[in-house]
Structures are given as C-alpha cells and as structure tokens.
Structure 1
Amino acid sequence: MTTTMRAAVVTAFGDADVIQLQHLPTPTPGPGEVLVDVRLTDLIFVETAIRAGQHGGFFDVTPPYVPGNSFGGVVRAVGDGVSADWIGKTVTGRTPSFGAHAEQAVAAAEDLHEVPAGLTLETAVAVSGDGYTALMLEELAPGLAGKQVLITAAAGGMGILLVQLAHRAGAHVIAAARGQAKLDLVKAHHADGVLDYSQPGWEKAVLEATNGAGADITFEGAGGSLGATAFTVAADSSWFSAHGAPSGDFAAYDESEAERRGITVKGIRDLRVDTTTTTVSAAEVLARAAQGDLVPVIDRIYPLEQLADAHRAMTSRELVGKALIRVS
C-alpha cells in the first residue's frame, strides 16, 4: 500500500500564495540513502527568490517542487548499503536539491550528521544552512584579526553568525542593518559599530569608522543598490563577498574598477557546494555550534502549513534573526 505524507509544494513561480500543502507519496530511500521523519527545516532568503522565479541561472528547478534543503529529524528507514544503526538517530542533513519541507525526506547517508549531545535540534537546524555558508566565508576571506569588517544584512540569520565569527577573530566589526530593533540585536552580538542603511548617506558612516580608508573585508548580504553602495566604501586591495540578494539581485559592481583598485570579489558560485574551494563540513558546523562559536538567533518557528507566511515575513524584512519551519 502506498503511503502519503504532507508536503509544501511550490505549484508555480510567483508570490507566496503559490505554496500549497498537498499529500504526496512517501519517498523510498535508494542505495546509500536514508528516509528521515522531518521535524524541523531551515528557511533562507534565497528560497523565497527561487520561488519567485529568480536566480534560474544558479538553481535548476521547475515547479511543481517541494522546497527546502536543510532539515533535522529522526531516521525512519535506510536503503541498501546503509547501516541500520542510523535508524532512530536524531540527525541533521541536506536533501540533494530540494524537498525538505515535507513530513519525510530522502537524503544521502553520507550527508547525515547526528546531533551532538547538548545541542538542541532547533539550534542544529538553525546553523545547518547559515552556519555552513558563514564558515565557508570565514575560510574564503583573508585573516579577520585586526581588520575593518563591514557586514550588511547583519541582523539576518547568517549576518548574525558572521558578526559573531568576525568578533571572535579579533576584527573591528561594522554591522549594517535596517531599523533600531535589528541594530540593537547586532550590537548585543558584539558589533563594534552599527549603522542603519535605510538612512541616506549611510556609507559615510563606514568611511568615518575606518578613518576614511573603507572596509578591509566586506560580507555583503543585502544585494541590489545597498550592495552596490557597500562596494563604493570597500578599501583598495580589499576583499568583497557579494553573496546576498534579498534586494532582488546580487550587488552590482564595475569589474574594471575592482581590478583597478585591486579588490578581490567573490560571488554566489564561490559558495555553492559543487563549485567552492572551501573544505567546510557539516560536522564542523555542528561542532562549532556546540562549542558556542555559532549562536543562531531564532525569531519565529512556523508550522508547515504556514510556510507561505514565513516567506512573506522574510521578504517583508519582518524577521529579526531567522525563521524555522516545524514539520511534525
């Protein structure tokens, strides 16, 4: 008898209303795979952009599809070649592409990691996506100690982690976000200076904080015109990561100017698992979270049937920190 599961389905590219809860056949794990009863899933901004039909050149997906990638749950069954010892373990993992926003998900056994003792499933899932990317950026960037580091979208799920990592590394952290609540949050996480980039001329504050030199390292998570402005206050011979696009697109910059000024620019392809040169592992992410290096800020946990509401909250910049989805 075929069993079914509840799953959130993006039925077409469009606004959040295209997300519908449906009953789909429960997947079966193949060789080297496991079937997980999903408890919690992560939600990151790029998923809302993909749902809207953006970034087709980076993510190959066609509706209808089940969104979501990072999950936490309990292993229900294993495929051929996988030890039955996995069954019943509480784990985090990643689906091969999408499919995590469902009651059951299939993943490669090699992509599973048991949640360390003392780490809640909420924390483990909250760092599994953003923490992975944050550690990749930490590894790609030059040494942070003693550097002037500008972090935009600093109050987002990943921005907060980058603030923490840069602070622990000994950088002077300049955190840019929108609104007093978000500025208070990043200040509480040890940003040395905060500025509201919804205010005109915010970039002047970056120059003031760096004695007119600009930022040595920029973690640019805002994209669009904000990201383009951040590029104008990057110091000569600096390092600039244009990895965020919540404004609709990644930061625009003049490649000839970057070359002339000796600025090293990294883009989204440098952060994709299949194209990156970093050696970060999911096990390292969980270990760093367990030792307190990565402390996610979880604003809200939405039930699966309210995934569309979570998308709306994220795109309207309501969240202070990040959102998770409780599946079961």
Structure 2
Amino acid sequence: MNAVRLHAFGPAENLAYERTEAPVPGPGQVRIAVRAAGVHLVDAALRAGDPNGPYALPELPVVPGREVAGIVDALGEGTDPAWLGRRVVAHLGAGVPGGGYAELAVTDAERLHEIPEGLGEDQAIAMIGTGRTALGILGFTELTEDDVVIVTAAAGGIGSLLVQYARNAGATVVGLAGGPAKVRQVSALGADHALDYNDPEWAERARTALWGKSVTVVFDGVGGPAARAAVDLLGPGGQHLVFGWSARGITGGGPLDLDPDWLAERGITSRSVLGPAMLARFGGGQTGLRRLEEESLAQAAAGKVVPAVQRFPLAEAAAAHKALETRATVGKVVLVP
C-alpha cells in the first residue's frame, strides 16, 4: 500500500510518500480502506520532534495520523463479522501516531462508529476528533441568547464549529480570523461580526459593533496578541476558555500569562479546557470521549452544524502540514488517498 512515513524528525519535507507493507488486523480489530484521514497540529508537533509537545515522541519510522474514515475491508480474529463492508470513522487514539496517513489502517473495533447516512467521510473525520473537542469545550459553559461570544480562531476546524453552536444557542458571535478570505468564511458561518485580527483596530471595531455590550465568553484557540485583546473585552464574570495557542512561533504568540490579581479584580475566569480538564468533566477515559464523538456525528448528520473541510491528496501530506502550520487553511485539514 501507499503511506506517508516519517524517518527523521524535522520539517514537513521529511514526510515521505512511499510503498510499505499493508497492516494486518489483530484480535478484536478491523482494517479500514481509508477514504479520508485527519491532520492535526499535534501531528505537526510530533513530526517536528518538539520535546515540549503534548505527547512523547514516537519511535521512527512511523506513519502519522490519528483519525480515519473509510470501508472495513478485513477483520481480525473474534471481531464481529457485521462490521465487514461498513462505512466507518474512528479516532485511533491520542498519544502516539496511529497510522492514519495511509491507504489502509488498523484499529480496535470498539473505536468504530458507523458513518451516518448523508455524511461524507471527510465530514465524519472533522466531527470525530475536532467535533468532539468543540462539544467538550462548550460543556464548560451554558450559552444563551444573553451571551456575547468571541471565537479567536473562527475559521479553523474547532472555531468554525464553535461559531455555529454559539449561533444555534442564540448568542451574539464575534468571529476573528486572519485575512479577508477567512473573514468572509467566518461571516458565511453565521457570525454576527467577522473581523480580521491582523487589523490593529479590530478590538475597537468590535466595541463599536456591540453597542456597549460586554463580552461574556472568549473561546481562545490562538493565544498571543489577539487573545489578549479579546480578554480585555470581557466584562465582569466573563470566561476565557483556552483550547490552544496556534499563534505559537509568531512574534508575541503563545498562551497568555494573565495576572491572577487582575483576573480576580475583574471577576474573570481563565482556564484551559483541554486534556485532563475535559476528560474529568465528561466522565474520563474512552467512555466519555465516545459519548462526545457520538453526539458530534449526530449533530452533523442532523444538519445542525456543517463542518468546514480543506482536502489535500495523501501524497501531498507535506504541503498540508506546511499550510496548517502557517495558518493558511480553513476548517479541518483532511488527506484523501
């Protein structure tokens, strides 16, 4: 089969599209003929060999990728035969690359979800990982029509879903994105106000557009100056919910270091909502994550949200990584064999 393998940590060019042996499913496993594979910033951190990334670095060579969708084409011993031939999506697990950047991938049958009718494989990929994270983030607040929300990375995979969920709740939504094309995308998603965070006057424009309303929630996936300006717009009792810092590596980027006394004085809560915090809130372990996955797929299948997807050929995984790292993508990045 064809797959993308990493033989040495480093730049995106180190991702090699090459022939390799097809995986064989073990007991309780299935093999999936991959039609779509998800790409994540964590994949890029692992590829680069970042020792400060969220997970330990894998042994090399390795096939990256933790999310796949396709058709079950082979079963391991003891696996329910009803899975054979079904259209499925699975998160292959966090912590280590799962072999998703390939034409064939193996996973435990217990990780599978049948893809709902009418939902494409690329859309299912967007919902199985990014979608479950968006729902998990929303679980830290209860949005209503009285809320005024800022989404700092509103054209990204998670941010584009948060914009739609917030609008569905009746909240007023300010969506931030970088550049005119992304701003137009955010406006099309339904944001009440779509603004370019590269504009030094964006915060003042937001104040004017909101007619004196205080921001109640900032969903922060960027960090850096844009997040700082967004937090400054929060009113008393506001929430700053951090799910990433994609501005890392950019001048002034990275997670915010907010003064606890300043936060207390303004009655603002700032917290990370990823990793252990999310697992603890939703029951922990695979059981809690699976519930989020099921609900995420159901929301998309019902048309309540439409995941934004940007596709790259599997052979162009390096280009996908470059685009993701330079924030040149819109929505969830997906590789297509």
Mean Cα deviation higher: 57-66 or 147-156: 57-66
Distance 2:114 2:22 in 1: 23
Q: Is the 8 A contact 1:33 1:106 kept in 2?
A: yes
Query: 1:79 maps to what in 2?
Result: 76
**Structure 1 stretch displaced more, 16-25 or 250-259:** 250-259
1:255 shift after superposition: 4.8
Correspondence for 1:88 among 77, 80, 85: 85
Aligned to 2:199: 199
In 2 relative to 1, CA 159–191 (structure 1 residues): closer, same or farther, beyond 3 Å?
same
1:151 alignment counterpart: 151
Does residue 286 (structure 1) correspond to residue 282 (structure 2)? The answer is: no
More off after superposition, 188-197 vs 36-45: 36-45
Decide whether aligned partners of structure 1 residues 110 and 317 sit closer, same or farther in structure 2, where only a CA change above 3 A counts. same
- 1:87-143 C-alpha deviation (Å, 9 max, x unpaired): 111100011242211122221211101111122222222322221111111222233
Using the alignment, how far apart are the partners of 1:307 and 1:246 within structure 2? 19
User: Which residue matches 1:49?
Assistant: 45
Partner of 1:12: 8
Q: Secondary structure at the match of 1:184?
A: helix
2:318 alignment counterpart: 308
- 2 CA distance for matches of 1:314 and 1:188? 21
Report % sequence identity.
34
Q: Structure 1 residues 22, 206: closer, same or farther in 2, change over 3 A?
A: same
Aligned residue identity for 2:256: A
Q: Kindly tell me: are residues 212 and 253 of structure 1, through their superposed partners in 2, closer, same or farther at Cα, counting changes over 3 Å?
A: farther
- Where structure 2 has 5 or more consecutive residues not aligned to the other structure, the ranges are none
How many residue pairs match? The answer is 322
Specify whether residues 326 and 172 from structure 1 end up closer, same or farther in structure 2 by C-alpha distance, changes over 3 A only: same
CA 1:234–1:90: 2 relative to 1, 3 Å: same
Aligned to 1:62: 58
Deviation at residue 190 of structure 1 after TM alignment: 1.1
Q: Distance in 1 between matches of 2:52 and 2:89?
A: 27
State how far apart, in whole Å, the 2-side matches of 1:29 and 1:259 are: 53
Question: Structure 1-normalised TM-score?
Answer: 0.89
Hey, what does 1:28 align to over in structure 2?
24
Greater shift, 162-171 or 68-77, is seen at: 68-77
Cα 1:255–1:174, aligned 2, differ >3 Å: closer, same or farther?
same
Give distance in 2, aligned partners of 1:81 and 1:56.
Answer: 39
Q: Please, what is the CA RMSD of the aligned residues?
A: 2.3
Q: CA deviation at 1:19?
A: 0.9
CA distance in 2, matches of 1:136, 1:259: 25
**Alignment match, 2:258:** 254
Determine the structure 1 residue equivalent to 2:129.
Answer: 129
Residue 31 of structure 2 contacts residue 74 of structure 2 at CA under 8 Å; is this kept in 1?
Answer: yes
Q: Does 1:298 align with 2:303?
A: no
Q: Does 1:161 align with 2:161?
A: yes
* 1:271/1:296 CA distance change after superposition, 3 Å: farther
CA distance, structure 2, for counterparts of residue 54 and residue 211 of structure 1: 44
Q: How far apart are 1:274 and its partner, in Å?
A: 5.0
TM-score, normalization by structure 2: 0.87
Q: Describe the SS at the equivalent of 2:139.
A: helix
Whether the 8 Å CA contact 2:38–2:66 is kept in 1: the answer is yes
Structure 1 segments (4+ residues) deviating >6 Å:
none
1:277 aligns with 2:282: yes
CA 57–274 in structure 1, closer or farther in 2 if over 3 Å, else same: farther
Contact 1:50 1:56 in 2 (8 A): no
For 1:310 and 1:134, the matched residues in 2 are separated by: 22
Change (3 A) 1:263 1:81: farther
Q: 1:47 to 1:236 in 2, by over 3 A?
A: farther
Paired residue secondary structure (2:217): strand
Q: Which residue of 2 aligns with 1:239?
A: 239
The superposition leaves residues 179-205 of structure 1 with CA deviations (integer Å, 9 ceiling, x where unpaired) of 111111111111111211001142233
Structure 1 residue 252, shift from structure 2 partner: 1.1
Superimposed CA distance per residue, residues 5-35 of structure 1 (whole angstroms, 9 cap, x where no aligned partner):
3221233332211111233333332333222
Compared CA separation, residues 187 and 282, structure 1 to 2 (3 A) = same
* TM-fit CA distance, 1:271: 7.1
